[in-house]
Amino acid sequence: MPGAIAFQFPDLFFGGLWVTIQISALGLAGALVIGTAVALLRISPAAPLRWLGAAYVEFFRNTPLVVQLFFLFLGLPLVGLRFSSDTFESIFRAAATGMALYHGAYVAEVVRGGLLGVDKGQIEAARSLGLSYAQMLRYVQLPQTFRAVVPPVGNIAIALVKNTSLASTIGVTELLFGAEIVESRTFRAEESFATATLLYLLLTIPLGLAVNYLERRLLVAR
């Protein structure tokens, strides 16, 4: 029976699932912050800031996530930077950081689109009321942007959950890693990976439903 193997190796499957959840949550939170900041750079009135934002997006979108993870894990120590003196803490943080940096680039593009989608007249109205640029962003442009970008950001979040499996390449004991270890010990490949698939679906399907729900609610509110 698929899934039963999870209870024979709970540390590897449920422990791995928990690590996947943690990396996903930290990575998503980071990606939202980074994505918003980079999007603001990209629409900034100052050209050098716009270039900086564009460079960030192009760099992180156009290099493989695995390469970025390896750089964070094994490249940063070359220049004397280390997430933690403990290797396992270090790879965990490298993985969460990698998820945030990489998906932040995608969030930035979506948020930029949302910011540009806010009617120019509203920006003028806010400014003519005496709101500063920062206040206008915070109270007028960003709240509307966040509503508009819920569906695409939801898709990025689902992609992020699946991409956490790449963290296994730098030795993070997440869900896929657990499944591979079980497979190598038991040679029960189909069962191991079918179980991992079920557990991934357990995360991504509710996430998709949550996004749909939010989308509908925001639509009604508008």
Partner 1 sequence: MIEFRDVHKHFGPLHVLNGIDLSVAEREVVVIIGPSGSGKSTLIRTINGLEAIESGTLVVNGIAVHAEHVDVNRLRKDVGMVFQSFNLFPHLTAIENVMLAPLKVRKLGRSEARDRAMRLLEKVGIPEKADAPPARLSGGQQQRVAIARALAMEPRIMLFDEPTSALDAEMIREVLDVMRDLAREGMTMLVVTHEVGFAREASNRVVFMDGGRIIEDSPTREFFAAPREERAKQFLSKVIRH
Partner 2 sequence: MRGITRTVGVALAIVFAAACGGASTPAASQPAASAKASAPKFELSTYQYAIQTKGKLRIGSQEDNPPFSVKNPATGKWEGFDADFGRELAKAIFGTQDDIDKFIEWVPVVSATRIPSLTDNKADVIIKTFTITEERKTQIDFSDVYFVTGQRILVKKSNDTIKEAADLGAKTVCAQRGSTSEQNITKANPAAKVLLLDSYPACLLALQQGQADAVSTDETILFGLVKVDPNTKIVGKPFSDEPYGIGVKKNQNGDRQGFVPFVNTWLAGMIQDGTWGKLYEKHITPVSGDKKTSPKG
Chain residues that interact with partner 2, rule: CB under 8 A:
64, 66-67, 70, 73-74, 77-78, 82, 87-88, 90-91, 165-166, 168-171, 177, 180-181, 183-185
Of the candidate residues 8, 132, 186, 212, the single one contacting partner 1 (CB under 8 A)? 132
* Binding flag, residue 89, partner 1 (CB under 8 A): no
Task: Out of 74, 125, 201, 219, point to the residue binding partner 1 (CB under 8 A).
Answer: 125
Q: Note whether 129 binds partner 1 by CB under 8 A.
A: yes
Of 180 and 191, nearer to partner 2 (C-beta) is 180
Q: Which does 174 bind (CB under 5 to 8 A by kind): partner 2, partner 1, none?
A: none
Rounded to whole angstroms, the Cα distance separating 117 from 129 reads: 21
Residue 82 CB partners (closer than 8 Å, separation 6+):
76, 90
Tokens of 19: 């690590």
Residue whose structure tokens are 């270039």: 51
Shortest approach of partner 2 to residue 196 CB, angstroms?
14
- Per DSSP (E only), the strands in 125-220 are none
* Residue pointed to by tokens 């079980």: 182
Query: Where do the DSSP E strands lie in the chain?
Result: none
169 contact, one of partner 1, partner 2, none, CB 5-8 Å limit per kind: partner 2
Among 3, 64, 77, 143, binds partner 1 (CB under 8 A): 143
Alpha carbons 97 and 100: distance in angstroms, whole number: 5
Contact segment (CB under 8 A) with partner 1 among 3-11, 48-56, 134-142, 204-212 equals: 134-142
Considering only CA atoms, give the Rg of the chain. 20
- Does 127 bind partner 1 (CB under 8 A)? Our answer is yes
Closest distance of CB 49 from partner 1, Å: 20
Closest approach of partner 1 to the CB of residue 218, in Å? 9
Give long-range contacts, CB 8 A cutoff, 24+ apart: 146-151.
146/114, 147/218, 147/221, 147/222, 148/114, 148/117, 149/110, 149/111, 149/113, 149/114, 150/211, 150/214, 150/215, 150/218, 151/211, 151/215
Binds partner 1 by CB under 8 A, chosen from 147, 162, 194, 208: 147
Tokens of 97: 């950081």
Q: Which is nearer to partner 1, 132 or 212 (CB)?
A: 132
For residue 80, how many other CB atoms are within 10 A of its CB?
A: 6
130 binds, among partner 1, partner 2, none (CB under 5 to 8 A by kind): partner 1
Q: What are the residues binding partner 1 (CB under 8 A)?
A: 119, 121-122, 124-132, 135, 139-140, 143-144, 147, 221-222
